[in-house]
Structure 1
């Protein structure tokens, strides 16, 4: 079997595994690298050189700098101004999408979306509007913004490094800007003027307020003298029912204890505030002896004494009625779900929760989080919580200690969707962060330092001056993306050295022998865009770059327009929720279905292509 046949087989199986999604893309990429090494396509002593490739180092530096921008307060300042937009939907779409577009130009586009997503949710709820009208334009805006600079998206960094390997000179920081800005503005104009109307409006379904309106699902059960659960802990209750019962609180007398903080045993007349449907209520009655109804037949001992004092102090029915009303009001205050430290969060593509259950994650014991409910595709899941295997884009309603919620969610790989509390960073840190970044850009523009060195130096400088703690810097590095890049770089190189890329290019040249070069360039653009919608955009760029180079060589024309076509098209995954993390992140909060994306994504893809091809040929002539 020839080398080219072997590499086609390996890449074909890799693409199938990417599309299947059963295994995470970093594991698939690593398996492809190791198999390529074992069959001799990649020399064993070069197998892991991809992890030290300038493209990988540049991506790491950009991720750290992006977190530094967030930490210094830059994004908070922008988000605070964004929230001041008026009630007109068109203006909201323009401001939100325009803001995330600008942010994506100088930071990781997934990071930019993650920062603006809570702002968009807050804006939608403030104006009682379905978030689905805002979130898809927001996600697509983050992709468009990444087109405009070298550091905006990994495909640009990959294409720049590939050009350096072919010509000895990489694309500069703003080499992508003429085409990228033109395409981004065309896409933004389409979204604002027409595109947002193609976003599905999930009235009452995608709104997390209505998805997780706990007041509509809460029931109150009382521990009675003969209840089996008397003397049990909440853990005993969960164990007996073989179910993660979403208990929110335990009310004892006048004190309400959040469930995740209640470590004692249940006593007579304790009230459990929980979410339960008919099946769960039957289990509670049969196995724990807990029944509906929070009020005991008579008041508890303390209340009885208070009642005697009240009756002796009040001689008429009105006073007694008032006292009863006050007691009822106090009871409702304790049973009010507000203040139970609930948080909504969406499961990210790289989350450790994917394909795992609550039990496997030990969510409560290890992370201090109590799962209350799960929504998927805009609808609340009705199955047992312990049986749910989490997917990327799931929206979770969690309860936990307020101080540790953020760290726990970050560890699990979840993005909080609660209203963002804007905390403006220190002005000195903001100025330092921007100053360090500006120096790195100047060093790149003047060719003092290559991009990887300049941005890595800026990232190190941010750590040394205290803009970002070291622990957060390591958390900011997206491990799966780094493994994907490091593993697929040698595989992509093997496609080139084995002659596989040349074979594909020869077939395309034969098919388009009677066509103008522009038609083949458009075909390459469409093929790369289609590929980016089913696999990671960085992987698409890695695989398409050698094919683009072979096409340029076959036509005896400049390499640059073909590489630029790959760079733009690989970053425009608008047709599916799996093509890019940004699309997946908004799927749950927006209540989108798989088929919703192409309704806005297809016309936007056409707008991008019709704008990009002429712009590329104008800026980078054949």
Structure 2
């Protein structure tokens, strides 16, 4: 079967099926994968329709970059950069360029840029600066990285092969490094000089018009309400699901469970069906009296004023408005079963522009009431799909760095580690 015949049949099939199965372009791309796997075509033949096979490579790199972003790996890199730069934009620029250049010295510069784009956007949002102030240094560092090692870019390998063919001996692995380091240092110095002219006065697209966690906590007058309690060895809560925990008459809610994991550090579990284990730490809102906690085998380990900041990529907050025609009008928060039906906790209520004092669970809601809810980011996204009962407002700025697949970070890192050696023969 000829290549033209194969793709002709594929195109006809895609056109006939696109209306009922999916877009024709999606089916065509699936065919590119299916033909080589079925032995109909070789991989070079399957990619012959592209001007350069690097198109597929670049697309795959952005997929890996998105995976690193959704698992929170890129944001942890950003945390490291912010910590060591001490939130100084000039120090951040230097660290960013050095990090990008070091990684680009052993892998594709295109891949490095694809991986660091979400990191740079996150850093810009966190520091309140324009992304343009970091995007240009990112690009320059990636380009300069091709001058640091023999394998950093394809022209180095081509020249080395030609020199060996002519009997000149070729290059060592670090032969070009001295020249590359000089160019890199000059590039860093140049970017430090022109950085102030890159951003201007704009910080567009950074969510600067939205509230932060601290803004919401201040607005609802929520201070020192959350505490941490560790589950003891003889606690009757061991083996129980979070949704089944009762604190009798106390208006206490479990915001989440902190559990130490070997590969993930301290993870925050927010699912209602999470089964409690010895050593878990409960994050409680409006904790009951000490005697009740002793009976449950819980030991106080400290306040959690920074719980939302510590776990901002998993635990979030959002405001919702009760419209006039909602069935929630006239009912109390406890009657509406927010925890069991939607997996969220009501932290506070505002009515007529004022914060409602006391336990929010027993407040009767009126039309126009605004509720502050705490839950994981997946639950917040599901709230946006609920219509009629309440309307979700714009999420806080921290939602931009949520990591919905944080538990899969090891797989993303494994993909990155596997990608580096695979990219060496395909340096752009």
TM score, norm. by length of structure 1:
0.29
Which structure would you say has the larger RCO, counting Cα contacts within 8 Å and 6 or more residues apart? 1
Structure with greater proportional strand content:
2
TM score, norm. by length of structure 2:
0.38
Structure with greater proportional helix content:
1
